[in-house]
Structure 1
């Protein structure tokens, strides 16, 4: 962090600025703001991370790919939240959207007053308070405008491409760029309930001083230009600072078994299979996926976990059943991980040559940064458009199942063919080569003098002006 060290020597104001992170209570959002907290604290800024006790605990126990010394610099604060139900996910639902998390999201609105009181207290001790909040926490932090020495910035957890698609669709306009095929429909992406929840934040978003994007100009320049144009953002400032995952991950004294297993495999020989923290597969889907992986003959690591509940520490999670004898038959070829997996480290491992993913933006940008091609299998929310970006625009992935066929169970034969194409075909080798080249460029973007590092430095200079 040479630029950060240089900044500290030149800017004595840094110690007088307090940065407060306000994440949305869902794993992909909690995780990204922990990553950003580490980046910002390396510039000598005091960083406060605030949320409910259960979600702060979740963020800490699931720290992935970060230097624990950097994490230890973050000040975590537990903010009161009203009690919320924490139902289990329904793996047999016709929609993959995680409706079980809605009570926790609704409860987050109750944090408006205690967060305001926290910010007011911090403001009395600081030259300036800089609030960086998730897009879906705008209503909760809206009172920042009444604190004279405070300002807020939205941290955008989505791809710029997907944001443009949603925005233009919302105003009834055609997508403003020519595409090779039709965009996946928004139908089935979200529930009416979460749509209403998102609408609560529309007006408060106008109070922000600027925007941060977890993406890189190298892959999303046209869409960023559109989002940050004067007709959209006005006179607000914006910075594209991604990828925020460290390009070089810390080493471990005792790596988990899955990483030890990877150490014994050949370069680019393993496909990593994981559908994130908000997707539960039905028993039938698990059976087809298991059969497809087995029939492909390709090596794999499969993370098989149920989707998160609002409180991940409450009660037992469902333990999904695999086909009888599956793990014995694939011994030496593949392993199944049932607990929390170190995804960034798996993707960064030389043996990992592909990623079958739900295409959450966290997973997409981590995979692109590590140069790993994607078998795109979107489940809900922004994922169908992210999958389109990866496969049709960046050309570093292939589609497992088209979005308009989301109601059908993907058969083992389809999975087998996709895995073979990505991992053991000339076409897959070309996709992998493009992914590797893009990964090199993305990692350089976060190094000293790289485009994303320069923008991060510009943001820090701005908030410590």
Structure 2
């Protein structure tokens, strides 16, 4: 090693959407806790967002240096709750603007490269343009980070590349919606391997125990050019200090019976119409089950912009008063990992974003699947059809229909108060215990992290 240089340093380049920011911040914590310098870069606005919403979890002995780059001009329209297509197009301008950081990220990479033998650039697969200069630094070694499941990304690439080989699970794949049903041609190309810079390999935010078959398929020459594939589930793979125990919903959970509460949340990118919120409210009331419901508007590109135009969701008159003995409404950010990990939580009604799926699986909580857009219908199929620990609130083919109160009630009751739900809860508990064990010292997931660290410091 050259005098005064580290063996390796890592430059993290996330996409400016909450789940992407969060996943790469958690991965940063894993790597930094192994004693490797990590540099997390983005606009000042989105770095602040990542730190604010880190669930109050901090990796022990981990040091992450944040690099706040000047924020490029961003058109930040309000979410449109009336759009039939729930794809969050109001965030498109922010992700596109990130490509404008290419030169600044390249200059930062050059600066960091002079202080280390190997600069490891980890970049969000959906934000490749921002790292075109950084990955060409002479001593840089790059890895694309996949925020989807390997199951999901493989299907996208397999279809985008013209289905270059036959798949064994033909019956399952016949049930899946075509990728082209929920991703534009541009998005398909954006995900294809030929649009990804030359790289050492791919990192998947997943766990081999549930995704091994598709990680293997991802490594095929036709899909990734035979690149190395790593499965690193980071959010529960290291010791954490918890600081959010004072949140009111957690104190409320402490007073509920084991497995008696369904958690309802549709993520940070989905905007629903008032009538859709009204139907969910009536369905939860009719179910007579205990619940925590996160009621919030979708994120804007700048969550700190505020202003009087920020929408407040109105629920049916008298609803909150009628259900206050068995339900709690959270209007804002909720500590989702702690809610799912609480023993009183017995089910999760979700949009099926992959991070939410993984958090639910790891906690051992079954899901009522209500996919809204993008990768979510494939995730929902994976949870319900492949893993068998979830049920559909509404199938993807009926996505343009308003889900009525009766359908919401039916899904909640089936998951929380039926024999079918009991079977799913047992199965989910078994899967969760297995996944958590794999993340303990000596477990497969923990060893995968060790293998990756050994590889980048070789």
Q: Give the TM-score range, shorter chain.
A: over 0.9
The Cα shift of 1:303 comes to: 0.3
The Cα shift of 1:332 comes to: 1.4
Pairing partner for 1:178 from 146, 170, 185? 170
Pairing partner for 2:153 from 163, 178, 195? 163
Match of 1:123 in 2: 113
Do the aligned partners of 1:38 and 1:70 also contact (CA within 8 Å) in 2?
A: no
The Cα shift of 1:252 comes to: 3.4
Q: Are 2:84 and 1:94 aligned?
A: yes
* In 2, Cα distance between equivalents of 1:278 and 1:306: 8
Match of 2:46 in 1: 55
Per-residue Cα deviation, 1:219-258 (whole angstroms, up to 9, x for no partner): 0111111001344333532211225334765343752000
The Cα shift of 1:264 comes to: 0.4
Pairing partner for 2:325 from 309, 332, 354? 332
Q: Are 2:405 and 1:412 aligned?
A: yes
Per-residue Cα deviation, 1:186-205 (whole angstroms, up to 9, x for no partner): 35523566557x26x85451
The Cα shift of 1:401 comes to: 0.4
Do the aligned partners of 2:245 and 2:251 also contact (CA within 8 Å) in 1?
A: no
Pairing partner for 2:32 from 20, 41, 51? 41
Correspondences of 1:300-339 after superposition (within 5 Å)? 300-316=291-307, 317-339=310-332
Per-residue Cα deviation, 1:257-291 (whole angstroms, up to 9, x for no partner): 00000000000000000000000111010000000
* In 2, Cα distance between equivalents of 1:302 and 1:187: 32
Do the aligned partners of 2:107 and 2:134 also contact (CA within 8 Å) in 1?
A: no
Match of 2:231 in 1: 240
Match of 2:254 in 1: 263
- Which deviates more, 320-329 or 309-318? 309-318
- Pair 1:234–1:194, CA change in 2 (3 A): closer
Do the aligned partners of 2:27 and 2:235 also contact (CA within 8 Å) in 1?
A: yes
* SS at 2:301 equivalent: coil
Number of residue pairs matched by the alignment = 451
Q: Are 2:345 and 1:355 aligned?
A: no
* In 1, Cα distance between equivalents of 2:407 and 2:167: 30
* In 1, Cα distance between equivalents of 2:246 and 2:185: 43
Q: Are 2:284 and 1:293 aligned?
A: yes
TM-score by length of 2: 0.94
* In 2, Cα distance between equivalents of 1:450 and 1:352: 26
- Pair 1:68–1:128, CA change in 2 (3 A): closer
- What stretches of structure 2 of length at least 5 have no aligned partner? none
Correspondences of 1:355-434 after superposition (within 5 Å)? 355-434=348-427
* SS at 2:34 equivalent: coil
Match of 1:3 in 2: none
Correspondences of 1:62-101 after superposition (within 5 Å)? 62-64=53-55, 66-67=57-58, 73-101=63-91
Do the aligned partners of 1:212 and 1:238 also contact (CA within 8 Å) in 2?
A: yes
Match of 1:106 in 2: 96
The Cα shift of 1:171 comes to: 2.5
Pairing partner for 2:209 from 218, 221, 228? 218
Match of 2:139 in 1: 149
